[in-house]
Structure 1
Amino acid sequence: MLRAEGNSGRKLRIWGTRTSWTTVGDGEFFCPDCGGDRNYRRRTGRCRFTILGVPLLARGSAGPVVECGSCHGRFGLDVLDHPTTARFSAMLRDAVHTVTLAVLAAGGTGSRTVRETAVVTVRAAGFDDCTEDQLTELVEALAADTGRFVVDPGPCGAALAIELHEALEPLAPHLAAAGRESIVLDAARVALADGAYSPAEREVLTTVGGALQLAPDTTVRLLAAASHTPY
């Protein structure tokens, strides 16, 4: 870019480029620069060649970009793939709830210790008003909904496996390994509250580990560790 020296000693920009931005959408996102939830504007731009600050020739388009409304940083559209803090909390809460229901559906709700352990797990995830009766009613409703939870093939059931994958797979890329392992361990403790794993419970837990993108041997290790942990 050429510059000329003015009489005042200031350098004048002779030529360059300028981008004019147009907002085409907005919303809320997790800003990687701010480190929190912020409003954003989705913008596209048109670049122009300038001489002495005057735009003359079109030089193509820019963007689209996501511009933070707070720090004004600009990012690629893939930044919207990261959930907001509020959305992430809801995803985690719903995932724990779904996994707990799946374990109860596999092992039954006849044991009070199992029900109590399940309630503690779900409340810790964010459902503060969860009760034993609510979980029992949900499990009974799911068992009756044979179009959604079928018993064949296998103890876990194809529809139940799909339900777990739908709840866990979107969460897994945004959750550290320790967090994913914690979900498996909490679910294992529910299953173990009335004794050793049943084949159906073990299958559900294995499905949970796979949906959370844990290696099979990692899931096996976690289940073994949970079974040797005093409660």
Structure 2
Amino acid sequence: MCGIRTSWNTVGDGEFFCEECGGDRNYRRRTGRRRFAVLGVPVLPRGCTGPVIECASCQTHFGTEVLDRPTTSRFSGMLRDAVHTVALAVLSAGGTDSREVLDRAVYAVRAAGYVDCTAVQLVDLVEALEADTGRFMPQVNPEGTLLAIEIHEAIDPLTPHLLPSGRESILVQAARIALADGPYTPAETEVLGTVGDALALDPADTARLLSTARTVP
């Protein structure tokens, strides 16, 4: 007979990951006005509500924080770019002369989503970056600051959305690239430590994973 009725107004839209549907869906960002209704007829205003995120498919309402989670397609892109950047960083630290190292790097980058990646492309990118800024040249950038910034820029946005096993997997994958031609060099160890830091791994866990990677086929 009587109750609170909400009149919704759409103020924006976009795409998000719907937890209820389990996939990427369109959404409507909505605000509402609450009114006391009698026999379905609004009588007295009872303030505003929202904003909420309404799934266009299942109509479930979520808090706006749901938009902090990347869509599946966005997450895939972030992961692809992070693995690509890490592979380039390891190659820049250890060199691109080893065929085994290049093959391992190409395998990792392709598995992450760059299916057309080739060894020639990776070598060209490393050389182009060196020629462009000197960011990988010890005599120009002795502390590796620019390389560390590149790694953090690629990984930091991804890290909060990865499970611990996913973060560890990225580091081990990078370590296996470095180990493809023999033990870690000091430069490779430094780069891998930066990767572990960007992945929010405890230094002890990073050391453990780098040691474990030596025994992974």
Normalising by structure 2, report the TM-score: 0.95
Is the contact between residue 43 and residue 63 of structure 1 (CA under 8 Å) also seen in structure 2?
yes
1:49 matched to 2:49? The reply is: no
Q: What does residue 214 of structure 2 align with?
A: 227
Within 5 Å, which residues of 2 pair with 1:186-197?
186-197=173-184
SS class of match (2:153): helix
Q: 1 CA distance for matches of 2:149 and 2:46? A: 49
1:27 matched to 2:18? The reply is: no
Q: 1 CA distance for matches of 2:200 and 2:66? A: 21
Within 5 Å, which residues of 2 pair with 1:135-146?
135-146=122-133
Within 5 Å, which residues of 2 pair with 1:186-225?
186-225=173-212
Q: CA deviation at 1:112?
A: 1.2
SS class of match (2:51): strand
Report which of the two has the higher share of helix: 2
Q: Which runs of 4+ in 1 moved over 6 A?
A: none
Q: 2 CA distance for matches of 1:69 and 1:87? A: 19
Distance change >3 Å, CA 43–CA 150, structure 1 → 2: farther
Query: Which amino acid is 2:177 matched to?
Result: V
1:109 matched to 2:102? The reply is: no
Q: 1 CA distance for matches of 2:96 and 2:188? A: 12
Q: What does residue 59 of structure 1 align with?
A: 46
1:168 matched to 2:138? The reply is: no
Q: Residues 24-68 of structure 1: CA distance to partner in whole angstroms, max 9, x if unpaired?
A: 111111001111111110101111122222212211111000000
Q: CA deviation at 1:153?
A: 4.2
Q: Whose RCO is larger (CA < 8 A, sep 6+)?
A: 2
Q: Residues 138-169 of structure 1: CA distance to partner in whole angstroms, max 9, x if unpaired?
A: 00011122275564342xx1111111111111
Query: Which amino acid is 2:85 matched to?
Result: T
Higher radius of gyration, 1 or 2:
1
Query: Which amino acid is 1:114 matched to?
Result: V
Normalising by structure 1, report the TM-score: 0.89
Query: Which amino acid is 1:179 matched to?
Result: G
Over aligned residue pairs, what C-alpha RMSD do you find?
A: 1.3
Query: Which amino acid is 1:46 matched to?
Result: R
Within 5 Å, which residues of 2 pair with 1:1-150?
13=1, 15-146=2-133
The percent of aligned pairs where both chains have the same amino acid is: 67
